[in-house]
Amino acid sequence: MIFNDIRNRKDMERAAVSMLEPLIPLLSPGKARLHLGETGAVYSPETAEIEAFARPLWAIIPMLAGKCESVYPIWEHWKQGIINGTDPAHPEYWGDVPFCEQRLVEMAVFGTGMLLAPDSFFFSLPEYAQDNLCRWLDWINKNKMPDNNWTFFRVLVNMGFKTCGRKYNEKRLKTDLKMIEKHYDGDGWYIDCGQQIDYYTPWAFHYYGLIYAKMCGGTYSAEYMERAELFAADFAEWFDESGEGIPYGRSLIYRFAQSAFFSAMAFAEVETDRVNYGVMKHILLGNLRKWLSLPIFTRDGVLTIGYHYPNLIMAEGYNAPGSPYWAMKVFLVLALGEDHPFWKAEECKYAVSPLAVQPHMRHIISRDSANTHVISFPAGNVCHEHTHPEAKYEKFAYSTLFGFSVPKSGIYLHNIANDSMLAFSEDGVFWHKRFDTAEYEICSDHVRSVWQPFDGVKVETRIYPKCEWHIRIHRIKSERKLIAAEGGFAVDIKDDDRKKIVQSKTEASVTASWGSSLIRAVKGYRKAEMSYTEPNTNLFNPRTRIPMLYADIPVGETTLVCAVYGSASGICAMPDELKRLCR
C-alpha cells in the first residue's frame, strides 16, 4: 500500500519506500533491468527496462545522501544492478550507446549520484565497477545531444566525474553550460524546444540547475539560484489549495514531478520572503498528498502511465512502462537531514493573486477566492513534435478541477473531446481546432490569439477571465460555410441521476454535489446541449460529457460570444466586469 499522509521527513521517506519496494520482485535476475509492462515506446523494450531501472534512483540517491536507514536494503538491489549493467561481459549489460537515444537521458541520475552521494553511491561499488560505470557514462561525451534540456544530462555526468576524481570533459562542460544560456528567456523562465514552455522549465532546467548550483558552486551557480528565486513566485501560482497543479503540456505522466522544483529549491537552500520553506513545504507535500490519493498505481503498487488514472491515450511516444518514475525526482528533499529548517518549518499558504499575468508562459491564471480552483488561459504556445499538441498546449483553458481532454481522432465530434475549444467542420465529420497560433497577445485582463483552422478561415479569439467565469469572443472571417462547436469544461458523468442538467437553446450546464460546469450563448450560436465524449479522453475522469454550443458560420464575417463557468460549488453570479462584455 502506498503511504500518502505526508506531513514530515519520516512520512516522505515512508512514501518513497512504499513506492520502491514493489519494484524489487520485478527486477531481472541480474537486477540490472526492470520489466514493468508490455506497452511500447519509440525506443526498444531493452532500453525501456534500463530506463525503468534507472528512474527509481532519483529517490534512492537523495535517501543515500540523507542517510535514510530504510533505503540501504533497497540500495543493495540497485547497487548489484549497476555492477552488472555496466559490465560488458554480463548478459544484462546496458550496451554501448553510439548514437543519441534514451539511454543518454538515464545517465543523468548516475551523474547526480556521483555528485550527491559519492561515498555511499559511487565509492561503495567495487573498483572495477566504478571503472565500468564511468566508461559507460562517458558515451554521453561521445554523442551529439539535442539542443534542449538534455544538455544538462551531460553537465551532471561530467560534474559527477569531477567530484569523484575521474577524468571529465572540461571542454564539453563549458560548451554545454553556454548552450543552456541560450534557453534562458528572462525573469526566471527557460524555453525548451523551439518556443515551447511547460513543466520542463521547473522540473528540468531549474531542477538540474539547482543541483549544479548547490553541489558544484561553479560557473552560473549564482545565476541558477537567482533565476529560481524569480521563477518561484510565478510557479507557485500554478497550484490550488489542495496541491493540484495546472495540467498543461507534455509529459504529464510524470505526475508529482510537478512539485519537484520546490524540492530542488529547498535542497539548494534558495529561500525568498514570498516563497519560504513553509510555502515550499505546503506546495510540495500538498501536491504529493494529492497525487498519492489517486488511483495511479496498479494493485501491486507500480506507477501506471496516465494522469489521474491509468490512460495510454494521453501518453507520449517516449512513454514506456517505467517512464512515470521520473516522478521520483520529487524526493530530492530527502537529502536534507531531519534538523534542516525546511523540515522544521510549518506549512504555510502562498499569497496567490486573483489574476496573474505570466507573459513568459504566455498565460493568464485566474482562481476562485478560496483557491480551490485554478484556471490557466494560454494565448499562444506551439508544440509540434509530440502527441496531442493542440490539446496539451492550445485549448482555451486548463483547470485544476476539470483537467482537459485529448482526442481519440479528428473524426466526429464525440471523438475530438472538444472541451475548452472551438472546433470547425465543413461536413460534421472532420473537425479542426486551434493549432499553431499565428499571432498572440497577453494583456492585463485578457489574452488574444489569431489562428487559422482552414485555409481561407481566420479567427481572432479574445478571452477575458474573472474568478471562475470567463468570456470568449471570436471574430471569424471565412471564405467557406462551416459548422462550429464550442465546449466548456468536461464533467464526470457518474451519478447522472443526481445531477441537475440544463439544455436549452442558449445554455448547457450541469450542477452536482461536487461542482458545476456551464457554457452560455451570448451571440451567434444556434443551440446548446450536453455532448458525450469517447471514454478515457479526459485526464481527470474516464467518462465525461461536455457542455457544448453550436453555430453555423456563413461566408463573410461572424462574431461569436459565450460565457463559460466551472466551479467546485454551485453556479454563482457572473462578475459585473464580464457582464459588460456580454452587452
pLDDT digits (tens, 9 = 90+) for 8-25: 999 999 999 999 999 999
Q: What is the pLDDT of residue 437?
A: 87
| Confidence category of residue 99, pLDDT binned at 50, 70, 90 | confident
Q: Is 452 helix (H, G, I), strand (E, B) or coil?
A: strand
Within 217-313, residue ranges assigned H as helices are 221-235, 260-267, 277-292
Q: Is 465 helix (H, G, I), strand (E, B) or coil?
A: strand
Q: What is the pLDDT of residue 571?
A: 82
Gap between the Cα atoms of 385 and 392, Å rounded: 12
| Confidence category of residue 497, pLDDT binned at 50, 70, 90 | low
Gap between the Cα atoms of 14 and 288, Å rounded: 13
Side chain identity at residue 430, one-letter code:
F
Residues of the chain within CATH 1.50.10.20 domain(s) are 9-344
Gap between the Cα atoms of 262 and 281, Å rounded: 8
Q: What is the CA radius of gyration of the chain?
A: 24
| 18, 297 Cβ separation under 8 angstroms | no
Strand partners, 303: 297
| 581, 471 Cβ separation under 8 angstroms | yes
Contacts of 225 (CB under 8 A, 6+ apart): 210, 213, 268, 270
Burial 342-376 (b: 16+ CB within 10 A, else e): bbebeeeebebeeebbbebbbbbbbbbeebbbbbb
| Helix/strand/coil percent split, the chain, to 5 | 35, 20, 40
Between residues 193 and 148, the one the model is more confident about: 148
Q: How buried is 66 (Cβ within 10 angstroms: 0-12 exposed, 13-18 middle, 19+ buried)?
A: buried
Q: Are strands 491-492 and 544-553 parallel, antiparallel or unpaired?
A: antiparallel
Gap between the Cα atoms of 481 and 479, Å rounded: 7
Look at 120-129, 149-158, 191-200, 405-414 and tell me which has the smallest mean pLDDT: 191-200
Q: What is the pLDDT of residue 583?
A: 77
Strand partners, 509: 502, 518
Q: What is the pLDDT of residue 469?
A: 96
- Find, among 464, 503, 482, the residue nearest to 422 by Cα: 482
Q: What is the pLDDT of residue 494?
A: 77
- For 36-77, write each residue's pLDDT tens digit: 999 999 999 999 999 999 999 999 999 999 999 999 999 999
Residue 513 has pLDDT above 80, yes or no: no
Q: What is the pLDDT of residue 496?
A: 58
Strand partners, 453: none
Contacts of 22 (CB under 8 A, 6+ apart): 300, 301, 302
Here the contacts of 40-49 (C-beta below 8 Å, separation 24 or greater) are 40/320, 41/102, 41/317, 41/318, 41/319, 41/320, 41/323, 42/317, 42/318, 43/101, 43/102, 43/318, 43/320, 46/95, 47/101, 47/102, 47/103, 47/320, 48/102, 48/320, 48/321, 48/322, 49/322
Residue 422 has pLDDT above 90, yes or no: yes
Q: Is 334 helix (H, G, I), strand (E, B) or coil?
A: helix
| Confidence category of residue 579, pLDDT binned at 50, 70, 90 | confident
- For 533-572, write each residue's pLDDT tens digit: 999 999 999 999 999 999 999 999 999 999 999 998 888 8
Gap between the Cα atoms of 236 and 9, Å rounded: 21
Gap between the Cα atoms of 9 and 447, Å rounded: 41
Gap between the Cα atoms of 459 and 508, Å rounded: 24
Residue 495 has pLDDT above 90, yes or no: no
Residue 338 main-chain phi, psi, to 5 deg: -55, -30
- For 339-389, write each residue's pLDDT tens digit: 999 999 999 999 999 999 999 999 999 999 999 999 999 998 777 678 999
Give the single-character DSSP code of 572.
P
Q: What is the mean pLDDT of the chain?
A: 95
Quick count: other Cβ atoms within 10 Å of Cβ 326? 26
Match domain 356-581 to its CATH number in 2.60.40.420, 3.10.129.10, 2.70.98.10, 3.30.559.10: 2.70.98.10
pTM here is 0.96
Residue 519 has pLDDT above 70, yes or no: yes
Side chain identity at residue 151, one-letter code:
T
- For 225-279, write each residue's pLDDT tens digit: 999 999 999 999 999 999 999 999 999 999 999 999 999 999 999 999 999 999 9
Strand partners, 487: 548
| Confidence category of residue 498, pLDDT binned at 50, 70, 90 | low
Residues of the chain within CATH 2.70.98.10 domain(s) are 356-581
Domain 9-344 in this protein, CATH class: mainly alpha
Q: Which strand (E) or helix (H) includes residue 484? A: strand 482-487
Strand partners, 306: 310
Within 354-477, residue ranges assigned H as helices are 389-393, 413-416
Q: How far is CA 209 from CA 101, 188, 251, in A?
A: 22, 12, 20
Give the single-character DSSP code of 239.
B
Residue 438 has pLDDT above 90, yes or no: no
